[in-house]
Amino acid sequence: MTKIIIRDTNEIIEDKSPKGANFLYKNFFGRIILKIVNKRFISKIGGFYLNKKISTKHINNFIKDNNIDMSEYENTKYQSFNEFFSRKIIDGKRTFSKNKLDFCAPCDSKITVYQLDNNQEFIIKNKKYTLERILRDKDLANNYKNGYFIVFRLSVDDYHRYAYIDSGKLLSRKVINGVFNTVGPIAFDRYKVYQENQREYEVLETENFGTIIQMEIGAMMVGKIYNYKKKKFKRGEEKGYFLFGGSTVVIIIKENIIKIDEDILNNSKNKIETKVKQGNKIARKCNNV
């Protein structure tokens, strides 16, 4: 199991794979079934059901099973499970640092930081990832040699809305069709999730951190990634949200732009995720930028 450190308390917990994940990813017959259930049309079928009023019957058990503190969220009557899953948090519960040189988390998540090498490559569980293949754009990938590939992994108990990390403007957008593997650690032994899953990304020109890439990655049973597709945006402004299923936000940033906080760097090197909330500082702009 992957270890997670809750940054607020330094408590260490262990990641729990979703129900059925061990069977799907570690059992021969499960992997046969997986070839079907990770397809786009299956997620669409699941999403169709979870958008219906009948799906609200699952909400109370889901809250209980995942120990979700509903006091943080707006008090409303949900018309579907997906409406509950993408619920909004109460204003003021997620705030960004007022210091614009602080680089903050775009979402509630578990963070892992990977440094790209001169070939824009990095390793996860002995599998080599290439930024060019993730982005499907060689020229764009070349701009991020030796930069950071920062993974913000959401699980089902997290707040599933995400924000812009800085003010700026949109330069370009790309959608890449793919499958819907789980984004939990169990999948990384067998699949190159960031190169295979459904994903979309935007190239953003920011005021304080240069040109960054923010990518959203779909996961098993995530029927849709909803981005608002704004041409201009403000720091901390909501960028979009996921429907049901854990999923991932990735930020790719050029070298020598930020200095990652030491605890997050050390945890990442030791294959430990760091649990943070949206708006928490995770890095600082380098003095020489």
Residue 219 pLDDT greater than 80, yes or no: no
Q: What is the mean pLDDT of residues 27-40?
A: 41
Q: Mean per-residue pLDDT for 173-199?
A: 64
**In angstroms, rounded to a whole number, what is the distance separating the alpha carbons of residues 57 and 80?**
9
Q: Cβ neighbours of residue 96 under 8 Å, at least 6 residues apart?
A: 102, 104, 163, 235, 236, 279
- By annotation, the residues acting in catalysis are 108, 247
DSSP 3-state assignment of 285?
Answer: strand
Closest CA to 52 of 76, 14, 83, 97: 83
Q: What is the DSSP letter of 88?
A: P
DSSP of 142-175, one letter per residue? HTTTT-EEEEEE--TTS--EEE-SS-EEEEEEEE
Residues composing the chain = 289
Q: Tokens 């760097």 sit at which residue?
A: 265
What is the per-residue pLDDT for 50? 80
Give the start-to-end residue ranges of the domains of the chain.
Answer: 5-9+17-289
The predicted pLDDT at position 244 comes to 75
- Residue 43 CA to residue 287 CA, distance in Å, equals 45
pLDDT tens sequence across 258-283: 999 999 999 999 989 999 999 999 99
Maximum mean pLDDT: which of 84-88, 131-135, 276-280: 276-280
Residue 203: what are its φ and ψ, rounded to 5°? -95, 120
pLDDT band at 12 (very low <50, low <70, confident <90, very high): confident
In the DSSP assignment, the letter for residue 78 is -
